[in-house]
Amino acid sequence: MPPCRIAVIGLGEIGLNRHLPVIAAHPGFEIVASAKRHPVATAIGGVQYRDYREMLASEPAIEAVAICTPPDVRGRIALDVIAAGKHVLLEKPPFSTLGAFRQVRLAAERAGVTLLGGWHSQFNLAVERARDFLADQQVASLEMVWNEDVAVYHPDQEWIWQAGGFGVFDAGVNGISILTRILPDPLVVRAATLRIPDGAQTPIAVEIDFAGLREEDRLHAGMDWRTPTAERTIAIVTRSGHHLRMPNSGRRLEIDGTVLVDEANLEYPHIYDRFAELIAGGKSQLDEWPLVVVADAYLIGRTLPADAQGVPGVRTGG
């Protein structure tokens, strides 16, 4: 089969450094064009357009599009791409509202095109192995820690503090997307606290308690952007006494002390493998559950103030 002719919309950090090199190296895809409002220098982006609508109109050979813009405009762009009859791959989180999932899914079904929501952390081998192991288990305890120093990882992103910018959830939803993939039961938020810096609209630290099957089960997730050392780890104890540990953003899997998977970062190649499979099979994969968990934390979470002093991108009040 000839490679699928693809275009990329949005060439920020992720589009430029994650998607383009993976597409260039993937036998199943061939880059045709890209769109970016402010032109950017790259030798592997195909014909570059400033307006994605012009790109869609000028390049009828395009069969699929990867949308790597910020989430708030992805819904609108996805509808235009689907209306042009192209398959769609979406960066994470696919959309910033749950309504957009429904609207875009419906449009893709009607148009008969493939949709893939690329929650990249779900595409680790360790995640699939953990999912298989947990399929017939019950979870007695869960601890997710997803901590970073925001000054190191998000120094110039003012948008993360604005309404719809997700704050610490922008990183933490990667861990949550692993949980919704590997756990055998729905992940139901029971209580949450969201610490929102003065002058920001989104949280810098979040704690979530999930409902377990029994009262005594303890399922907890903590995300904090005020920690000097980055840690992105999931630890699970099953009722039958097995201990799972997934450090390194879920790319390593230890069960009862034995290392079963310890992979380099192959998330994006795996995403494109899956995209090719889905297109060939005429199928779609679009999981809204990571965003449901975030939404539930907002719905019933208690908001508390946080000190904004020294947080980059937040304008502190007088």
Closest distance to its own copies from the beta carbon of 300 (Å): 4
Q: Do you know the residue count of the chain?
A: 318
Q: Are 41 and 80 in contact (CB under 8 A)?
A: no
Residue of 293, 306, 311, 314 interacting with its own copies (CB under 8 A): 293
For position 172 contacting its own copies by CB under 8 A, the verdict is no
For position 284 contacting its own copies by CB under 8 A, the verdict is no
Q: Which among 36, 86, 92, 283 is annotated as catalytic?
A: 92
Toward its own copies, which CB reaches closer, 49 or 169? 169
For position 273 contacting its own copies by CB under 8 A, the verdict is no
For position 44 contacting its own copies by CB under 8 A, the verdict is no
Contacting its own copies within 203-232 (CB under 8 A): 211
Sequence letter at residue 243 = H
Toward its own copies, which CB reaches closer, 44 or 295? 295
Round to whole Å and give the CA distance between 171 and 317. 26
Closest distance to its own copies from the beta carbon of 170 (Å): 12
The beta strands (E) that lie in 25-105 are given as 29-35, 47-49, 64-67, 87-90
For position 290 contacting its own copies by CB under 8 A, the verdict is no
**What is the arrangement of strands in the sheet containing 189-197, beginning at the earlier edge strand?**
258-262, 252-255, 243-246, 226-238, 139-149, 218-224, 205-210, 189-197, 302-306
For position 280 contacting its own copies by CB under 8 A, the verdict is no
Toward its own copies, which CB reaches closer, 59 or 80? 80
Can 283 be counted among the known catalytic residues?
A: no
Q: Number of C-alpha atoms within 13 angstroms, CB side, residue 234?
A: 29
Which residues is 8 bridged to in the sheet? Answer: 34, 66
Closest distance to its own copies from the beta carbon of 109 (Å): 12
For position 25 contacting its own copies by CB under 8 A, the verdict is no
Contacting its own copies within 83-112 (CB under 8 A): 96-100, 102-103, 106
Round to whole Å and give the CA distance between 105 and 271. 19
For position 303 contacting its own copies by CB under 8 A, the verdict is yes
Closest distance to its own copies from the beta carbon of 301 (Å): 6
The beta strands (E) that lie in the chain are given as 4-9, 29-35, 47-49, 64-67, 87-90, 115-117, 139-149, 189-197, 205-210, 218-224, 226-238, 243-246, 252-255, 258-262, 302-306
Task: Tell me which residue has tokens 């609508």.
Answer: 53
Catalytic residue positions? 92
Residue numbers at the binding site for its own copies (CB under 8 A): 72, 75-76, 96-100, 102-103, 106, 163-164, 185-189, 201, 211, 291-296, 298-303
